[in-house]
């Protein structure tokens, strides 16, 4: 049994590394068409330092989404991208950010020599190896075709001999447990929700802004954690929490928002809901033995 668990863990680890390689390799097609024509707004060093200062004090739950939006709007070179990546507290957030930021970065060939501050050496080696391969493709004129990319993916899967099994897509990295709402909101939708809340000055209207903005949308606990940090009063946070329950994707993570509350009554209410009521919101479940594949929402 121990050997089987070790093999499953190894397979899941290799799938994560392969997912990273395939995703980054696919970005080469866009490089072939547009190497240095990123549609972005130049940013001064002074403005960039101000942004870094704000990111430094930002909770990790908000940092990932805000960073993605930032690199979409402003021109990033390898030094800026490397410096931004150092602000993440986990390699999972770091690699997800780099997934998103890669195609928005200028002078891509210089990324080979950039420090991305990975804590996991395996992830760092995979990423550096890919960048080296990408650099060679740029030197060769970026003649990679879509068919070559498909063949490359087939080669990876064959070489690793992962076998045939069903894979379930999840929208929270490594998540296994009860699923509520089918799919969480996108990064841009999450940014709009945050902005709508921040534009309101009256606490009751901040709560209404959240309720209106999330209508018909799902939410991860990670996103909910970032939204709760925008409220000053615990009663308002509790209203947001109760209005979000039926929209939460990763139900078994819901107890993590408990650290936003000090009031014992609120803590007990959250415990009651997370222990006894989540099944009625469940639409699916990812079991421990299932193979999963993370997909960005």
- 36/139 same-domain check: yes
Beta-strand relationship, 177-179 and 284-286: antiparallel
Q: Between these two residues, 161 and 106, which has the higher pLDDT value?
A: 106
- 113/212 same-domain check: no
Beta-strand relationship, 291-294 and 177-179: unpaired
- 121/236 same-domain check: no
Distances (CA, A) of 205 to 15, 216, 239, 240, 246: 45, 19, 12, 12, 21
* Residues above pLDDT 70, as percent of the chain: 66
For residues 15-30, one letter each, b for 16 or more C-beta atoms within 10 angstroms of the residue's C-beta and e for the rest, the string is: bbbbebbeebbbbbee
Asked whether residue 172 is domain-assigned, the answer is no
Asked whether residue 165 is domain-assigned, the answer is no
- 100/229 same-domain check: no
pLDDT at 56 over 50: yes
- 56/156 same-domain check: yes
Asked whether residue 292 is domain-assigned, the answer is no
Number of structural domains, the chain? 2
pLDDT at position 218: 95
- 118/10 same-domain check: yes
Lowest mean pLDDT among 87-96, 236-245, 249-258: 87-96
Asked whether residue 294 is domain-assigned, the answer is no
Asked whether residue 167 is domain-assigned, the answer is no
- 241/130 same-domain check: no
Looking at mean pLDDT, say which of 49-58, 94-103, 167-176, 259-268 comes out highest. 259-268
Confidence of residue 209 (pLDDT cuts 50, 70, 90): very high
- 32/153 same-domain check: yes
d(CA 16, CA 241): 32
Asked whether residue 132 is domain-assigned, the answer is yes
- 155/243 same-domain check: no
- 9/155 same-domain check: yes
Beta-carbon contacts of 88 under 8 Å, excluding residues fewer than 6 positions away, are 60, 63, 64, 94, 97, 117
Asked whether residue 110 is domain-assigned, the answer is yes
How is residue 257 annotated by DSSP? G
From 160, 194, 221, the end of a domain falls on 160
Q: Between these two residues, 222 and 145, which has the higher pLDDT value?
A: 222
pLDDT at position 139: 47
pLDDT at position 106: 61
Give the range of the structural domain holding residue 227, as residue numbers without chain letter: 177-286
- 35/146 same-domain check: yes
DSSP H/E element including 293: strand 291-294
Distances (CA, A) of 117 to 59, 84, 121: 19, 10, 10
Question: pTM for this structure?
Answer: 0.51
Confidence of residue 73 (pLDDT cuts 50, 70, 90): confident
Q: Which two tokens stand for residue 163?
A: 């076998």
- 218/93 same-domain check: no
């Amino acid at each position: 049994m121990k050997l089987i668990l070790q093999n499953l863990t190894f397979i899941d680890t290799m799938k994560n590394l392969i997912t990273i390689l395939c995703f980054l390799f696919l970005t080469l097609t866009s490089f072939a068409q547009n190497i240095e024509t990123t549609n972005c707004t130049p940013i001064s060093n002074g403005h960039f330092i101000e942004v870094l200062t704000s990111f430094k004090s930002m909770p990790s739950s908000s940092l990932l989404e805000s960073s993605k939006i930032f690199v979409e709007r402003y021109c990033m070179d390898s030094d800026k991208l490397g410096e931004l990546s150092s602000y993440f507290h986990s390699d999972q957030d770091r690699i997800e950010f780099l997934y998103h930021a890669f195609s928005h970065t200028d002078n891509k060939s210089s990324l080979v020599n950039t420090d991305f501050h990975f804590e996991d050496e395996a992830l760092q080696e995979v990423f550096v190896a890919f960048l080296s391969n990408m650099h060679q493709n740029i030197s060769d004129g970026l003649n990679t075709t879509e068919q070559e990319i498909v063949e490359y993916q087939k080669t990876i899967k064959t070489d690793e001999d992962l076998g045939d099994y069903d894979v379930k897509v999840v929208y929270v990295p490594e998540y296994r447990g009860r699923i509520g709402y089918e799919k969480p909101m996108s990064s841009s939708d999450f940014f709009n929700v945050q902005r709508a809340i921040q534009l309101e000055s009256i606490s009751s209207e901040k709560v209404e802004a959240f309720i209106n903005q999330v209508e018909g949308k799902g939410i991860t606990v990670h996103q909910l954690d970032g939204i709760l940090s925008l409220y000053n009063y615990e009663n308002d946070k509790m209203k947001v929490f109760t209005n979000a329950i039926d929209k939460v994707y990763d139900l078994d993570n819901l107890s993590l928002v408990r650290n936003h509350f000090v009031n014992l009554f609120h803590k007990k209410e959250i415990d009651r809901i997370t222990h006894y009521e989540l099944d009625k919101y469940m639409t699916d479940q990812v079991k421990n033995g299932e193979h999963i594949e993370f997909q960005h929402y």
